[in-house]
Structure 1
Amino acid sequence: MKDQRWRSSLPRLSWFAVEHLLLLPLGALIALVWVNTVPESYYRFTYAVSFTVNDVGMVFFFALITKEVVEATVPGGVLHPWRRALLPVIASIGATALPALIHTWIVGAFDEPMLAVGWPVSLATDLAMSYFVARIIFRKHPVIPFVLLLGIACDALGFLAIALFNPERDLHLASGALILTVAIGVAGGLRRLRVKSFWPYLIGAGGASWCAFFWSGLHPALALVPIMPFLPHAARDPGLFVDALPDARDTLSQFEIWWKYPAQVALFFFGLVNAGVPIGALEQGTLGLPIAVLAGRPLGVLLGAGMAVVGGLHFPRQVGWREVLVGGFTAAMGFSVGLFFCAALLPPGQLRSEMSMGVLLSLAGAPLALLSAKVLHVGRYSEQ
C-alpha cells in the first residue's frame, strides 16, 4: 500500500516529525536563523523556489484541509446540518471586523496614512499554522473543522477587501470568476459522470481553477478548495481526522492516501520559504497588527458566533464558548497569508518591513492559545 511504502521509506525520527506535524515549525525555525545570519543566500533560495512551494506545493495541503471540512458537513459530521456549517462563516464577520477596527484605531494614533492602508492584513489567517496549533491542543476535537472553516472565510474576506479597497493592485476578478465557473462546471460534470479517479478532477477542474486564481491575482494555493466538494466521498463522516484506510474506494479518501505525505513535505518548505523575516527593532508599524489580531480575533469570533446563535444557528457537537475562544487565538496567526497581504498592499521599504514583523509577532497566538486552553480546561487540558 502507498501509505505503508511511505512509512517504510522514512527513518524513525523523520516519521515521528511527519506524524506530529513538526515539519512546519522546523522549516520556520531554520528560515529565521538563516535569514538573520546569511540573508543573501536565503533570499536567493526563496526567490528560486517560492513560486513552486507557495503556489503549487501548498495546493495539496489546502486541499486536504478542505477534505476535512467536506467530510465534517456530511451526515454524521460535526458541521452537519447547515445550521452548524454556517455558524463559523457568520462568526468570521466578527473575527475580521473587530481586528480591522482595532488596527485602524491604533495606527490612527501614529498619523501614518500608509500604515492605515494595511488594515486588510489584520484579516489574514494562516490555515497551516492554525491547523498545526489546533491539532496540538484539541487533537481530534470537533472544534478543529470549525476553526478551519472560520479561517477559510476570514481569508476570503481578506482577498475581497484587497480587491475592493486596493484598486492599484492588478486584479482580474471578472475573467478569473469566469474561468473558475468553468472549472466548477468541469468538476460537476465529472461527478455526474461518476468518475472515480481523482486525477481528472485534479488535472482538469483543478488546473482550470488554479489558472482562475492565478489570473485573478488571488492565492492559487487555494485552487482545489472549490473543487474538493465535488470528489465522490463516503455518505457518512468516517470520523474526525481518521486516516483513510488503504483499501478505501471513495475518491476523496484515495486523494488523501496519495497526497498526505507530499503535503507534509510541502509544509516544511512552506515554513522555510515564508518565515524568513529579519528580526529588527519594534517600530510603530510593528506592534499595531499583533495587538489588533491577538485581541480582536478571539473576541470577534465570540461576538460573531453570538450573533449567529441568536439568529438560530448551532455550535458543532461538543463545542462551546470556551473552545471557540481558544480556537479564536489559533486563528489569529496571519503568517504566510498576512505576508502575502503585506506585499499586495504596501510597497517595498520600511513600512512593509515593519508590518511583516508584526505578522511574524502574530504567531504569539500559538502560546496564547495553549495558555487559554490550560486556563479554561479544554482540549488536551480538559482532564487536568
Structure 2
Amino acid sequence: MYRVWTFLADYSLLLIFGAVTALVWVNADYDSYHHFVEFRIWDHAPIGHLHDGHRTLTLHYLVNDVLMALFFAIAAKEVWEAVILKEGSLRGKKAATPLFATAGGMFGPIAVYLGLASIMGSETYNAVANGWAIPTATDIAFSYLVGRIVFGAGHPAVRFLLLLAIADDAAGLIILAIFYPSGELAPEWLLLSFGASLAVFILFNWLPRYMDRGRPERPHSTRVRMALGGLPYVIGGCISWYGFMQSGLHPALGLLPIIPAIPHADRAFGIFSEAERSLGDLLNVLEHALKHPVEIVLFLFGLCNAGVQFQSIGPATWLVLAGLFVGKPVGILLFGWIAARPLNLGIPKGMRIVDLVTIGFVAAIGFTVSLFVASVAFDAGPVQDAAKMGALFSFGAAVISVVVGRMTRVEKIAY
C-alpha cells in the first residue's frame, strides 16, 4: 500500500486536491469561484480569448491553453518513444492486440454516447452531440494505479493496460487537433510551428551529430548540449505554440511538433519506471525537469475545470458515463477478442480473455482528459457542466473494476 500511496502522491495527488477544492468552492460560493477562474490577467494581450475584437488573457485560458501544453507534451513524449524506438511498446506484433483493444475502447463509447443521445430525441442530440469524444479518454495515471491495485504490479494485464492507455492518448491528441479547433482555421500558421521544429532539429540535433560522425567522443554535440542545454527547444516550443494558437488548432497541443526534434535515447523503460530517471538524453532531462511544474499545472487544471455544481447533472452526464462504463468495456472486450482469436494475434502470456472486461472498466476512468475535452467540446454552461460531472463521476469505474476483478477471479501477481 505504501507504493500505491507514493505513486498517487507523485502523479495525481495535486490534481485530486484541485478538483475537490473546486467542487467544494463552487457549491459554497458560485460567484466568487467563477470570478477567480475568469480573472483577467492581461487585457489587450497578444494571447488569450478574443473579446470585443481584442485578446484577453484570463486565468482559465492561461491554465487550459498555455500551461496544459506542458502536460500534453509529456504525454506526446511517451507516445513518440513508444512509436519511434526500436523496442517501442507500440511497435511490432506485441502491440497489435492492445491497439485493436484501443480502437474498441474508442468506437464503443462513441457508439453508445451518440446512440443513446439519438434515442433521447433530436433536441437532446443536437445539444450534446459535440461531446462524443469525452468518453473515449483514458486517464493514464489513475488507470495505471487502479490496474496495479486490481491485478497486482506484476500481472501482464497491467502492461497491456498501459499500452492501451498510451495508444488512447495518441488517438486523443489526434481527435483534439482535428475535431476541436479553438477558432477559425488558418492552417498556414502551422508552417511556423513545423518550421520552428525543423529548424531546431537541423541546427541543434542533426547538424552536430552529422559533424561528429566517426568520432565517438561527439565533441560538437557535447559542446552544443553544454552551452545551450534545452534553450533552443524551449524557444522553438514557444514559437510552435504561437503557430498553433494562430492556426485555430487548440494551443494546448502546440508543443507536439517540437517533441520529435529533441535528442532522445535509443531506449525507454516506461512512463512510470524509476529507471527512466537514469537516462541522460535531453528529452528525458526536460521531462524530469517538468515533472513538478506539471503537477502544479494539474492542480490548477483541476481547480479551474472541476468547479461544477451538484445540481448540474443532466443528459450529458449519463451519456458520458454510459459511454465510459458500457462502451469502453464492451468495445475493448470485442475488439480485443477479435484480435486475439479470429486474427490469431494472441494476448500476453498469463492473461485471459476475460481479463479484458476488467481492463475495460479500469480504462473507463476518464477524468483528466475527459474534463479537458468537455471544456473544449461545449461552451460554458449547463451542458458543459453536466458533461464535466460525468468525467468526475468516472472515478466510479475504480470501484466497479475491483468488483469485476473479483467476480472474474483475477489472480493478483505482486511482482
Amino-acid identity (%)? 29
CA contact (8 A) 2:201 2:261 kept: yes
- The aligned residue for residue 175 of structure 2 is 157
Shift, 1:125, TM fit: 6.0
Shift, 1:153, TM fit: 0.6
CA contact (8 A) 2:135 2:320 kept: no
- The aligned residue for residue 159 of structure 2 is 142
Corresponding position: 1:355 with 2:387: yes
* 1:265-284 equivalences in 2 (<5 Å): 265-280=296-311, 282-284=313-315
Q: 1:237 aligns with which of 268, 292, 299?
A: 268
2:301 aligns to what SS in structure 1? helix
**In 2: Cα distance, 1:306 partner to 1:277 partner:** 38
- The aligned residue for residue 184 of structure 2 is 171
Cα deviations by residue, 1:224-276 (Å, 9 ceiling, x for unpaired): 33432332222222455334677743112211231111111212222111111
CA contact (8 A) 2:138 2:366 kept: no
Corresponding position: 1:192 with 2:206: yes
Corresponding position: 1:78 with 2:89: yes
* 1:293-372 equivalences in 2 (<5 Å): 293-308=324-339, 321=353, 324-335=356-367, 337-372=369-404
Q: How many residues align?
A: 363
Amino acid in the other structure paired with 1:178: L
Q: Which moved more, 1:359-368 or 1:285-294?
A: 359-368
Cα deviations by residue, 1:298-318 (Å, 9 ceiling, x for unpaired): 222333444555567676787
The unaligned stretches of length 5 or more in structure 1 are: 1-13, 164-168
Describe the shift of the 1:354–1:233 C-alpha distance in structure 2 as closer, same or farther (beyond 3 A): closer
Describe the shift of the 1:268–1:342 C-alpha distance in structure 2 as closer, same or farther (beyond 3 A): closer
The unaligned stretches of length 5 or more in structure 2 are: 40-58, 210-223
Shift, 1:57, TM fit: 2.3
Q: 2:287 aligns with which of 246, 256, 274?
A: 256
- The aligned residue for residue 201 of structure 1 is 233
Describe the shift of the 1:321–1:186 C-alpha distance in structure 2 as closer, same or farther (beyond 3 A): farther
Shift, 1:329, TM fit: 3.2
1:276 aligns to what SS in structure 2? coil
2:303 aligns to what SS in structure 1? helix
Corresponding position: 1:122 with 2:154: no
Q: Give the TM-score taking structure 2 as reference length.
A: 0.72
**In 1: Cα distance, 2:374 partner to 2:7 partner:** 34
**In 1: Cα distance, 2:136 partner to 2:295 partner:** 16
Shift, 1:119, TM fit: 3.2
Cα deviations by residue, 1:34-66 (Å, 9 ceiling, x for unpaired): 111011121122113222222232222232233
CA contact (8 A) 1:244 1:257 kept: no
**In 1: Cα distance, 2:20 partner to 2:61 partner:** 20
Q: Give the TM-score taking structure 1 as reference length.
A: 0.77
Describe the shift of the 1:308–1:231 C-alpha distance in structure 2 as closer, same or farther (beyond 3 A): farther
**In 2: Cα distance, 1:25 partner to 1:275 partner:** 10
**In 2: Cα distance, 1:173 partner to 1:307 partner:** 41
**In 1: Cα distance, 2:245 partner to 2:189 partner:** 8
Between Structure 1 and Structure 2, whose CA radius of gyration is higher? 2
CA contact (8 A) 1:62 1:225 kept: yes
Corresponding position: 1:96 with 2:106: yes
**In 2: Cα distance, 1:229 partner to 1:302 partner:** 33
**In 1: Cα distance, 2:189 partner to 2:334 partner:** 33
Q: 2:256 aligns with which of 219, 225, 233?
A: 225
- The aligned residue for residue 42 of structure 2 is none
Corresponding position: 1:132 with 2:142: yes
